[in-house]
Amino acid sequence: MRPFLEPFLGKTPNRPPAWFMRQAGRYLPEYRELRAQAPDFLKFCYSPDLTVEATLQPIRRFGFDAAILFSDILVIPDALGQQVRFEEGVGPLLDPIGDRLGIAALRAGSVLDRLAPVFETLRRLRRELPDDTALIGFAGAPWTLAFYMIEGRGGVDGGKLKRMAYGSPGDFAALMTVLEDALVAYLCRQVESGAEVLQLFDSWSGIADETLFARWVIAPTKRIVARVKEVHPTVPIIGFPRGAGPMVIDYAAATGVDGVSVDSQVPLSWARRNVPAHMVLQGNLDNQLLVAGGDDLDAAVARIVRDMRGHPFVFNLGHGILPQTPPDNVARVLNRLRGGAGES
């Protein structure tokens, strides 16, 4: 049994398994070197030789308990035919969808063909990973994908997204259905290609009020989880409703996910008291503390472990690793989790 999978069977090992969101990426010099081989980020994502290597780099260096497929959530809009590009220093830029014509132009039929390199990456990874390392597949949740598809970029407040959700509910529902169907097929194929756990990133769920959250975060997630589990009943699914605050509890109770990843603003001890006893919690070290390092970092790691002892738990960050993170701080956290260097 891979240690990573134990919490999903209700076990509470003394040392929680650990992986970090964005554990592959620019904070690693070996990643920056690899990335220089394909300056176009989407091309990088569709090159199995490069994505397999990028996935393995943090495993080799740190020995995380799980590897996460190297890809991006925005391969789904790209595979649906929307123009997606990544600009250095800006992030993703998409030709925004503004109306029903834009939705009708999406091509759902060719999604799995276009994503064939992702499945190839997973197959190769499962062969190359150490036996005790689990393999995580992932996708963006519909609300977060719709955010990028309608806004065209990050770093904005989601006004266009909400105007479509409130003002053209029929069109918005049509877009969400296209996304749900594509995600179910994509996630099932990931499992068939070697993914042993799935994570759904809902990075923008924090801009939804209670009603939008119920309708467009919880409900689509619940349908996706049910449909994936119809085909693959035992695959653990982790949801990450970032910024959801107290609504993370409704999310845990209603979506059917096996685990919930909580951000750094949600106290784990509070989450633990408010989710079902079997619900795996994942999180939630502040990624800025991982940059800062030092005694405060050690204290936060110890506190998280103390708060979660006896509850099924996966150690992680509250959000992805930042590019300026010193790799030594990552090693330091894993070392302390494993009882090295002065753990009390």
Is residue 138 close enough to count as binding ligand CP3 by CB under 6 A? yes
The helix-helix angle for 142-151 and 159-167 (nearest 10°) equals 110
Is residue 86 close enough to count as binding ligand CP3 by CB under 6 A? yes
Is residue 267 close enough to count as binding ligand CP3 by CB under 6 A? no
Is residue 184 close enough to count as binding ligand CP3 by CB under 6 A? no
Instruction: Write out the binding residues for ligand CP3, residues 10-29 only, by CB under 6 A.
Output: 21-26
Is residue 91 close enough to count as binding ligand CP3 by CB under 6 A? yes
According to DSSP, the residues that pair with 237 across neighbouring strands are 198
Among 16, 92, 241, 318, binds ligand CP3 (CB under 6 A): 92
Among 8, 46, 64, 70, binds ligand CP3 (CB under 6 A): 70
Catalytic position from the list 22, 61, 85, 126: 22
How would you classify the pairing of strands 91-94 and 84-87?
antiparallel
The answer to whether 250 touches 239, Cβ cutoff 8 Å, is no
CB of residue 344 to ligand CP3, shortest distance in Å: 30
Annotation says 15 is catalytic: no
**Max intra-chain CA distance, the chain:** 61
Contact region with ligand CP3 (CB under 6 A), list: 64-72, 116-124, 185-193, 228-236: 64-72
Catalytic position from the list 49, 72, 181, 250: 72
Is residue 201 close enough to count as binding ligand CP3 by CB under 6 A? yes
Cβ-proximal residues to 97 (8 Å cutoff; 6+ apart), any chain: 82, 103, 106, 149, 150, 175
Helix intervals (H) in the chain: 29-35, 41-45, 48-62, 75-79, 100-104, 111-114, 116-128, 142-151, 159-167, 169-192, 210-212, 219-231, 247-254, 268-274, 287-292, 294-308, 327-337
Give the nearest residue (CB) to ligand CP3. Answer: 203
Supply the residues annotated as catalytic.
Answer: 22, 26, 35, 72, 148
Residues binding ligand CP3 (CB under 6 A): 21-26, 35, 41, 68, 70, 72-74, 86, 91-92, 138, 154, 201, 203, 320
